[in-house]
Amino acid sequence: MALREGLIFGACNPLLDISCKVEPEFLTKYNLKANSAILGDDSHLKIYEDIKKKHVSEIEYIPGGSGQNALRTASWILNYPNVATFVGCIGRDHNADIMSEKSREVGLNTAYQITDKASTGTCAVLITGEDRSLVAHLGAANCFTSDHMDRADVWEHVKKSKIIYVTGFFFTVCCESIMKLAKFALEHDRTFSINLSAPFLSQFFTDQLKAALPYVDILFGNEDEAMAFSKNILGKESTDIAAIAKEMSNMPKLNNKKRIVIITQGHDPVIMAIGDSIRQIPVQKIEHSKIVDTNGAGDAFVGGFLAQYVQDRDLEKCIDCGIWSSGLIIQRSGCTFPEKMTYQ
């Protein structure tokens, strides 16, 4: 397919990543795990103050939010202005200006909802070795309302899209908009894709995920998210990722397309399930000395996959580009890009 504006439409929580290397004791202080993603509560409010006291010279401010990262990656790879459009809610502040500017730099079109009720959301990215612990404070992102999605100018982007991508994190904010997107995709033969995003979503947003799943054509996740899904939605304690992916793919669906399930496992093979068919695609291991941090790796994988999928490339090519993208990102700080895109 020839590239054009608006091929990809995405919705998630736009956040400014505040990234810093910390000691393991810092995670212990806030009862955090070395490789996890959570929504912060009152017990985490002093994290930013703490890192500014101890690591102010090492802090990096990087546009983030899972869905925005994925669409920034896809836009950078495709190098076609406005090939993707992203929606989410931001505040009226400097952090929002930073995100908007960085999105424009890679050609991502944004149709943000802007609120005066809260500041732009942030995410503490706490790096220990190769691992990252994410603590999100949604701020303005939590103020997204379905009437923004219903605006004629925003909905026009939905109608132009070939694939709609929603992260699991957006289930914490606006399920009404997710279901509207899902139903539109079904009725107008668009590809509807979601990401499991974090284990807590299967645990605490079980009913919402179950409601959306019959519409889902492509389901992304990692091994931890797959096991949480198995436990909380399939009702099975299992560590057999291939078997879980197969069962996910065969769950009830409202159209005749077989659901594609893609599960990443770090440097272990990517698992792809389509009905009863299971494939394991090897991942080229990155030398330990070259890894900067893993923040954004999963998002970059999705971005690489979508960049090929909208061009009607075969699924193996989509996964290959996803592996390349994630391998690139873990050699950089956060979800940032070099000047030149070298994927063939």
- Number of C-beta neighbours around residue 99 at 10 A: 28
Q: What are phi and psi of 240, to 5 degrees?
A: -85, 90
C-alpha dist (Å) from residue 328 to 167, 171, 284, 319: 22, 29, 11, 14
- Residue 161: name the closest of 128, 140, 189, 125 by CA: 189
Do 100 and 124 meet the contact criterion of CB atoms below 8 Å apart?
no
Residue 127 has phi, psi (to 5 degrees) of -100, 125
Q: Which has the closest alpha carbon to 319: 339, 302, 334, 331?
A: 302
* Dist CA 246 CA 236 (whole Å): 13
Q: What count of other Cβ atoms lies within 10 Å of the Cβ of residue 70?
A: 33
Q: Give the ranges where 19-93 is alpha helix by DSSP (H).
A: 24-29, 47-55, 66-78
Asked if 299 is an active-site residue, the reply is yes
Residue of 299, 312, 314, 320 marked catalytic: 299
Q: What is the spatial distance between Cα 213 and Cα 61, in angstroms, rounded to a whole number?
A: 34
H/E run at residue 239:
none
In whole angstroms, give the CA distance from residue 16 to residue 169: 15
Q: Which burial class, exposed, middle or buried, applies to 11 when counting CB atoms under 10 A from its CB (0-12, 13-18, 19+)?
A: buried
Q: Are 145 and 173 in contact (CB under 8 A)?
A: no
Straight-line distance from the first to the last Cα atom of the chain, in angstroms, rounded to the nearest whole number: 17
Return the active site residues.
299
